[in-house]
């Protein structure tokens, strides 16, 4: 018999498979459980409803992403490299098949109608903005970003990245994720007042 954590993971993986097949958030709890090879009792040990399952999936993916972004930023040698890495990591998600599929499922109209979705999305946005503000504070302190107003600029930077992200998720995207990241990072760098020297040293193309 699987442990509770393994059982929960099995349900989430089955949900992703089912939701990918039917599109959006249309699969029923019954279909998900049949795919997982589990019964109703197992489902309700972990989730109160299908909405609760969808929110748990959204929360799990969002928290994993934020942890990755924060870890990369913390290990970067400079604030410029930390911000560069953040932009590149966010837009790279759109070119990774599995994560791209997860984004499509969790941003579908069906998922957005889930009770509590708006509040959860706002919480995720606030977490990302707080982490971005920390990078901007570092840049303000060491002179990398002399024009930075960390809290307010973090909101705008996240919005710019989100717009580029949505464009990359669309089938009509006119550039690659790498090209989009370069456009965003150059715009952000100019907006923060980074010097030409900083740009040349820190915002170089990664292999």
Q: How many residues does the chain have?
A: 207
Fold agreement (1-47, 54-202):
no
Fold of 1-47: Arc Repressor Mutant, subunit A (1.10.10)
CATH number, domain 54-202: 1.10.357.10
Give the C-alpha separation, 56 to 97, whole Å: 21
Q: Which of 25-34, 72-81, 146-155 has the highest mean pLDDT?
A: 146-155
pTM for the structure as a whole: 0.86
Percentage above 70 pLDDT, the chain: 91
Give 70-92 pLDDT, tens digit per residue: 998 999 999 999 999 999 999 99
Q: Where are the domains positioned within the chain?
A: 1-47, 54-202
pLDDT single digits (tens) 39-74: 999 999 999 999 999 999 999 999 999 999 999 899
């Amino acid at each position: 018999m699987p442990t509770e954590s393994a059982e929960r993971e099995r349900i989430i993986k089955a949900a992703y498979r089912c939701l990918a097949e039917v599109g959006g958030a249309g699969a029923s709890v019954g279909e998900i459980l049949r795919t997982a090879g589990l019964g109703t009792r197992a489902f309700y040990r972990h989730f109160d409803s299908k909405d609760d399952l969808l929110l748990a999936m959204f929360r799990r993916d969002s928290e994993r992403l934020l942890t990755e972004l924060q870890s990369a930023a913390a290990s970067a040698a400079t604030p410029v490299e930390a911000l560069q890495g953040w932009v590149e990591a966010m837009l790279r998600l759109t070119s990774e098949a599995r994560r791209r599929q997860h984004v499509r499922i969790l941003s579908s109209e069906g998922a957005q109608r889930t009770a509590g979705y708006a509040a959860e999305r706002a919480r995720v946005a606030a977490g990302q903005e707080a982490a971005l503000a920390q990078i901007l504070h570092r840049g303000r302190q060491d002179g990398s970003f002399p024009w930075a107003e960390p809290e307010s600029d973090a909101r705008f930077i996240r919005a710019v990245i989100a717009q580029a992200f949505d464009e990359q998720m669309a089938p009509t995207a006119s550039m690659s994720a790498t090209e989009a990241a370069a456009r965003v990072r150059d715009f952000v760098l100019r907006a923060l007042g980074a010097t030409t020297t900083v740009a040349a040293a820190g915002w170089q193309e990664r292999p």
